[in-house]
């Protein structure tokens, strides 16, 4: 007989499992190719019960991104503390890991994913997402030893997301781009980002 009553502890455990499984699947196979059915079946609950936790797939996506934020920051910190890596090597390795997220357990939003989120999230959820995104990128800059003023955070966010999106978009979403140059394009973008961060890091503080 199916269980009809769940304690608060049960619900908290199931919710945590849903987000964890979603992040694992989305990192491996992409957000677009991960279905709600795959997730609730893996956790062992019904479709109806799933929607009592997350009204839409987009709400779940946001939670998975929130779950991975501290993991991404911890990864960056480990790279910065690795004595075998120079500062430049650590930042470069971090950016490569994000651009090739499916190889490193990191879920990355494609252009289509971003458009879907923007159109389906409530204004309040979207506002919260942007705030937490800015907080993450600001903390990453501080981890890299770069002053995290608003303009620098905004620039770093756009530059990083551009590299990730372009890498995932060639050739399906951006068919006029040259697929043979996709990896070289990502390498160039990452090098440019690291150059930019290094220049900001080397600026002496004002008196």
pLDDT by residue, tens only, the chain of 207 residues: 345 578 899 999 999 999 999 999 999 998 988 999 999 999 999 999 999 999 999 999 999 999 999 999 999 999 999 999 999 999 999 999 999 998 899 999 989 999 988 888 889 999 999 999 999 999 999 999 999 999 999 999 999 999 999 998 999 899 999 999 999 999 999 999 999 999 999 766 554
Give the separation between CA 101 and CA 95, rounded to whole angstroms.
10
pLDDT digits (tens, 9 = 90+) for 127-183: 999 999 999 999 999 999 999 999 999 999 999 999 999 998 999 899 999 999 999
Residue 110 lies in a domain: yes
Question: Domain for residue 9, yes or no?
Answer: no
| CA pair distance 173, 151, nearest whole angstrom | 29
CB distance 78 to 6 below 8 Å: no
Closest of 131, 149, 160 to residue 72, by C-alpha: 160
Residue 163: CATH number of its domain: 1.10.357
CA distance 96 to 82: 17
Give the helix ranges, DSSP H, for the chain: 8-29, 36-43, 47-50, 57-81, 87-99, 111-120, 123-143, 150-169, 182-201
Number of folded domains in the chain? 1
CA separation (Å) from 153 to 25, 90, 116, 135, 207?
Answer: 29, 19, 24, 9, 22
- Say if 139 falls within a structural domain: yes
Of how many residues is the chain composed? Answer: 207
Asked whether residue 129 is domain-assigned, the answer is yes
Q: What 3-state class would DSSP assign to 95?
A: helix
| 32 within 8 A of 61, measured Cβ to Cβ | no
Q: Which domain holds residue 127?
A: 58-201
39 within a domain of the structure (yes/no) = no
- The reply to whether 42 falls in a domain is no
Q: Does the pTM exceed 0.85?
A: yes
């Amino acid at each position: 007989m199916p269980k009809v009553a769940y304690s608060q502890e049960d619900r908290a455990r199931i919710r945590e499992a849903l987000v964890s499984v979603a992040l694992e699947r989305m990192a491996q196979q992409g957000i677009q190719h991960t279905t709600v059915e795959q997730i609730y079946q893996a956790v062992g609950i019904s479709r109806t019960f799933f929607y009592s936790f997350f009204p839409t797939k987009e709400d779940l996506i946001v939670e998975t991104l929130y779950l991975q934020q501290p993991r991404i920051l911890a990864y960056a910190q480990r790279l910065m503390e690795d004595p075998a890596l120079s500062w430049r090597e650590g930042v470069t390795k971090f950016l490569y890991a994000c651009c090739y997220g499916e190889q490193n357990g990191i879920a990355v939003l494609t252009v289509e994913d971003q458009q879907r989120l923007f159109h389906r999230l409530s204004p309040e959820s979207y506002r919260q997402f942007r705030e937490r995104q800015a907080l993450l990128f600001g903390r990453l800059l501080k981890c890299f030893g770069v002053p995290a003023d608003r303009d620098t955070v905004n620039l770093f966010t756009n530059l990083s997301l551009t590299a990730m999106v372009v890498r995932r978009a060639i050739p399906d979403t951006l068919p006029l781009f040259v697929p043979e140059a996709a990896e070289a394009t990502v390498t160039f973008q990452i090098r440019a980002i690291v150059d930019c961060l290094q220049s900001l890091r080397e600026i002496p503080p004002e008196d």
